[in-house]
Amino acid sequence: MPSHICKYSKTSKPILTGFNAVGVLLLAGIWTGASASEAANPKRHTLTPEDIRNTFVGQVATDGTHWSYLFKSNGSISAVELGRQRKGRWAIRHKKLCLSVPEMAPEDCWLVIQEGGKLIFRRDGLDVVDVTIEAPSGYQLEWLRR
């Protein structure tokens, strides 16, 4: 038996590896009527406009390195991009989160996907950036008061 299909443990019982584990996930999806992507990502879904508002308002969204955006309830954003303070705007249009940072820049609209405990900005059928939501702290709390 080829080694990439099945390996035997010390108890001589087969254990799944590599290609077999993926095959089992796909078959599980077929047997239950789910698509392959649903079988592989059972907790992945697009946020509704209400979910987007509840998730982002009063919170800081960040990619963890390049930018941090504080979303205010009035549709404004206080941001830091590559170490520079910026102002911007946000809105929800056609079930997407639309951002304009700096303020006069053209809007960039994103589907917001939740996959387990993480968020993903998605556009044109591609997952573009993982996003973390954090409570504001330090100087960001001062921004909320402005």
Report the pLDDT value the prediction gives residue 25, as an integer from 0 to 100.
Answer: 34
In a domain, 65, yes or no: yes
Question: Are 36 and 51 members of one domain?
Answer: no
pLDDT given for residue 73 in this prediction:
96
Total domains present in the chain = 2
The pLDDT assigned to 30 comes to 37
3-state secondary structure of 126: strand
Of 27, 25, 29, 4, nearest to 14 (Cα)? 4
In a domain, 125, yes or no: yes
> How many CB atoms within 10 Å of residue 98?
15
pLDDT of residue 43: 87
What per-residue confidence (pLDDT) applies to 56? 98
Please give the pLDDT value at position 13: 44
- Which portions of the chain are predicted below pLDDT 50? 1-34, 38, 41
The boundaries of the domain holding residue 73 are 44-145
Same domain, 71 and 20: no
8-state DSSP, 48: P
Look at residue 100 in the predicted model and tell me its pLDDT.
Answer: 97
Structure tokens at 135: 């409570």
22 shares its domain with 76: no
Within a domain: 1? no
pTM (whole model) above 0.75 = no
Q: Please indicate, yes or no, whether residues 35 and 52 belong to a single structural domain of this protein.
A: no
